[in-house]
Amino acid sequence: MAASAATERRALVAGATGLIGRRLISQLADSDRYTRIHALVRRPLETSEPVVSHVVDFDDLPASAADIGPIDEAYCALGTTIRQAGSKPAFRRVDHDYVVAFARLARDLGARCLLVVSSLGADPDAGNFYLRVKGETETELEALDLPGLALFRPSLLRGARDEFRLGEELGNAAMSLFAPLVPARYKAVSDRELAIAMMQVAETGVSGVRVIESEEIRRLGGTV
């Protein structure tokens, strides 16, 4: 359904080929909220209206995304694993450098709200490298002084990935086995729940910084 002229809005999405990004693109396109959804990708992506894909260089986003006009909301689902990236520096490049670069681009394009997939336990002082990078990224995003910043910190993620992630598979299996004993903030979140929660927060708006963890994500996504 096309958005009416009175509600014309434009979204910017990074990470459109991953688990959450694919679901986001699908949910956004099926809604009537946006007349244009700009998907930033590193490889050509087959899309249809209202989605438009832009092949960009995340190491030089301002130049490679120069043809994108003003936007209203920006959704960031960029993320990888150390194993998939190949090294800790390569992981940090995606989960920190590219996320911060995307946030700067969103700010420069006039985004009223930036919605970012982070992780439960993100902490710049964490002993765990993964969680420390996530925390450092959040800290830098907050320093950009965006009009609105929503940080989504899911526990484990459920959904059909293109690649196999052993840690997530084992974690999800354990979660299912011991579900009644798992505290709400640690319960797994599905790709659909997270995508819907992000859209809900964008719709209601964010002023300043808002942190949303698994239990609230599941509630906003309609399962709590």
Residues with a known catalytic role: 130, 134
Any idea what the Cα angle at residue 124 is, between residues 71 and 152, rounded to 5°?
A: 40
Q: Are strands 113-117 and 148-153 parallel, antiparallel or unpaired?
A: parallel
Report DSSP letters for 117-140, one per residue: E--TT--TT-SSHHHHHHHHHHHH
b (16+ CB within 10 A) / e for 1-20: eebeeeeebbbbbbbbebbb
Sorted by sequence, the CB contacts under 8 Å of residue 64 that are 6+ apart come out as 54, 55, 56, 57
Q: How buried is residue 198: exposed, middle or buried, by Cβ count under 10 Å (0-12/13-18/19+)? A: buried
Residues linked to residue 114 through DSSP beta bridges, in sequence order: 74, 149
Question: CA-CA distance, 80 to 95, in Å (whole number)?
Answer: 7
The SS3 of residue 148 is strand
Question: CA-CA distance, 206 to 223, in Å (whole number)?
Answer: 22
Q: Which of 123, 112, 122, 139 is nearest to 201 (CA)?
A: 112
